[in-house]
Amino acid sequence: VNESNDIEHPDTIEHKSSVSESENESLTDSNYLTITPNTTFPPIEETLSTKTPCEDDFEIIKLISNGAYGAVHLVKHRQSHERYAMKKISKTHLILRNQVEQAFVERDIMTFTDNPFVVALICTFETKRHLCLVMEYVEGGDVATLLKNIGGPLNIDIARMYFAETTLAVEYLHSYGIIHRDLKPDNLLITAVGHIKLTDFGLSKIGLMSLTTNFYEKHIDKETKAFNDKQICGTPSYIAPEVILRQGYGKPVDWWSMGIILYEFLVGIPPFTGNTPDELFVNVINGQIYWPDMLDEST
C-alpha cells in the first residue's frame, strides 16, 4: 500500500481521533512516546560508532518503499560508509491507529531474531516524530517484483530454493512462538547472491520469546495455544480462512500463506482472486483452486 508519509501537525488532527489536545501537543516533545531505546546491537558495534546512534549518523540515499505507518529508505552510515535500510515509523500514525504496542512487538522480534534467512536489525533510535529501525540492506529487491518482471512463474529450481529458505525462516520463528501474519512475496527479499531474507514484522505476534518464558500469556488460549486476537490483518490474497472467519489464529495461518506463496511461485499468480476483498474472502472460504495444465506432474 502506497501512502503519503507526510506527518500531520497535531493541530490538524484534533477532530480525527480521540487523542486529547494535550496529548497532541505532546507529539512535538522529543521526550514523548519513547518506544524504541537508543540501542546498538552486537556485533554491529564494530561497524557503527560506539556512541548512541542518531539520525545524523546516516545519509539518506533514496526511498525504497512507502507504507501506512512510514517509509523505508536506503541510507549510508557516514562513518563506515556501509549501506542500510532505515524504516521510519510515524509516532503520530502509531497513536492515531492504536498501534503503539505493535511497534514494541516489531522491535522486540527483530532484536531477538538471529537467522540467516531473516533480515537483521542493526540499531534503533528515535527522532522528534519518528521511531527508526536500521536494518541490513538487501540489494536484490523482493520476490513480488521479480514475479511481476517475469510475468509468470519462477524457474522450478529457483522456486524450490526460495520456498525452502522461507520455510526455514518460518520454522525458526515458530520455534520461538513468533507468528509473522503477513507472509507474501513482497516480504521476501533477495540477497546479492540470490538467497532469501524474510522481512517486515509490523503485523507479527509473539508467543514465546524463550522456550520457558511466555511474555504474552494473557493473549493465548490455554487449550488451543492460539492467539485470542480476532482481528483480520494481513494481505487479503494470503489470509487464512480462520482469520477471515475471526476464529483466532496460530502457527497454521503462516503455513496457509506459505501454500499461497508456493502456488504463486509455480503459477505466477495467487490462487484466489476477487474484485473486492469480500469477494476474494468468499473464494478463500470455498477453497476451490484452479491448477493449470502447464504444471509438470513432478512439481
**What's the total number of domains in the chain?**
2
Domain boundary among 90, 108, 136: 136
Residue 275 lies in a domain: yes
Q: How far is CA 76 from the centre of its chain?
A: 22
Cβ proximity of 179 and 254 under 8 Å? yes
Residue 295 lies in a domain: no
**124 shares a domain with 15:** yes
**112 shares a domain with 149:** no
CA distance 67 to 54: 22
Integer-rounded Cα radius of gyration of the chain: 20
> 266 CB contacts (<8 Å, ≥6 apart)?
153, 154, 156, 159, 295, 299
> 64 CB contacts (<8 Å, ≥6 apart)?
71, 72, 73, 74, 85
**209 shares a domain with 153:** yes
- 213 C-beta neighbours (distance < 10 Å), count: 8
Residue 157 lies in a domain: yes
**191 shares a domain with 117:** no
**91 shares a domain with 150:** no
Residue 296 lies in a domain: no
Among 76, 79, 57, 102, which residue's Cα sits nearest to residue 200? 102
User: What pLDDT does residue 4 have?
Assistant: 38
**180 shares a domain with 100:** no
Domain holding 203: CATH number?
Answer: 1.10.510.10
The pTM of the full predicted model, rounded to 2 decimals, is 0.74
Residue 259 lies in a domain: yes
Per annotation, catalytic residue among 182, 200, 293, 296:
182
Residue 154 lies in a domain: yes
Domain boundary among 111, 136, 161: 136
- 251 C-beta neighbours (distance < 10 Å), count: 17
User: What pLDDT does residue 50 have?
Assistant: 58
**167 shares a domain with 40:** no
pLDDT in tens, 266-281: 999 999 988 888 899 9
User: What pLDDT does residue 1 have?
Assistant: 39
Domain holding 21: CATH number?
Answer: 3.30.200.20
User: What pLDDT does residue 207 have?
Assistant: 66
**272 shares a domain with 177:** yes
Question: Which positions of the chain have pLDDT values less than 50?
Answer: 1-45, 47, 208-233
User: What pLDDT does residue 183 have?
Assistant: 95
**159 shares a domain with 67:** no
Domain containing 264: what range? 143-286
Domain boundary among 119, 136, 153: 136
**193 shares a domain with 108:** no
Residue 2 lies in a domain: no
The reply to whether 278 belongs to the active site is no
**39 shares a domain with 97:** yes
Residue 98 lies in a domain: yes
**148 shares a domain with 116:** no
